[in-house]
Structure 1
Amino acid sequence: MKKHLLAGLLVWLPLAITVWVLMWVLGLMTGVFGGLLDAVQAVLPQAAVPTIEWLRRTPGLGVVVLLVALWLTGVAATNIAGQWALRQGHRLLSNIPIVKSIYSSVKQVSDTLFSSNGNAFREAVLLEYPRAGSWTIAFVTGRPGGEVADHLRGDYLSLYVPTTPNPTSGFFLMLPRADVVPLGMSVDEALKYIISMGVVAPPPPRVALAAAAAH
């Protein structure tokens, strides 16, 4: 009986977690849409209330509206007029006390992580950490810059060492390139390995498989 219960758990647990994450995302998007409707309702006449309530009760409408808004924002950001408007908005937010500190920090991180030509989280490496003889997986986020780089001699890398099973928290390290071992696994495979606490091991690189087959 224990064996069958465990087998059933292994079948339903990934599905349940997937559904829970999707429901959380849908709930977040629906909440944002509801907040926008509340803001619109506050400035429109009373006659528009029934229409707004109908929009609020329409299932899935908030998700569709937010996806369309993201797409339209992306379209606008790729033309000259949209880029000019974005620059003006960035200049405005960068001059507001307190807001500028939060906005600038988040924007720098998001630009680095999601830029198509950035190098953040592009490579997984093996790192001897936190002590000699103990190894973990880290991600290369770039190279030290600014004042920090002036105090470091040699070829250094900026590394992010995630925790498990929650990789959104971790440690930031700057180490010589010679102290890290490049890995053939992709970033996605490394993240799965970390989240699963080493249970889901990535397959060997194709080069290693080909060499083994040749022998």
Structure 2
Amino acid sequence: MSERIWLNVPFPEKDQAKARGARWDAKERRWYAPQQGMASLHRWALPTDSTEDGASSEEALQRSRRETLRAASRIKSPRPQQHKKRPSVEVVGPEQVHALLDLTFHRESPDHPTLWTTVPPWHWRCHMCESNAHPPRAISTAKVQKGRWGRCEIAFEPHEFWHVVEQHGRPASHRTAVLALVLQALDPPHSIGAIEWGLPQPGRAATWDSARGCFEIVAGTQIDWRM
């Protein structure tokens, strides 16, 4: 198999990249160009300049990834204990969780759409990693809009929310804490999952308000993103 031509695609631009021919590598969890010289994907191409030690930018990216994984493993590794005490576990403080929430839900400008989350009541498939998502623990991104007669509609998008959290490169314990808080804010009923696909259901959507340091939650009718 020929060497992958990796791309640097931010999460908000994933749909544009996919529409222009980019493909997702589920194993490496990265986007790539299926062939060389695709002008439509030039904006996401990795730089070709060499690093100071002579290694290519691809090698530098791989080295950075390995260093991040090693740093995360050091955080999780138990400290030497005597008398057979339980290994120490990293305690994730509220400041660390709020910092990652601020990053994840950050809006580049007032015109940038708000990132909403929801728990769809149906079984669905993530278009980012092509994996099956099962309620009631699968959180998706969503759009909140006004429907008929001004009623609130929550249109879920087929993208698992953890992809957005993952791109910031924070330790796994921080990401897990953020997902748990979002799921707690959405508070999905445990009975969902056996509902006929596409049948509108009452639900909730949540976004993080960085200024107030809390979630903003709305109630509305959950609908399929294609409706």
Structure exhibiting the larger radius of gyration computed from Cα positions: 1
Structure (1/2) with the larger helix percentage:
1
Larger RCO: 1 or 2 (CA < 8 Å, sep 6+): 2
TM-score (norm 2): 0.27
TM-score (norm 1): 0.28
Structure (1/2) with the larger strand percentage:
2
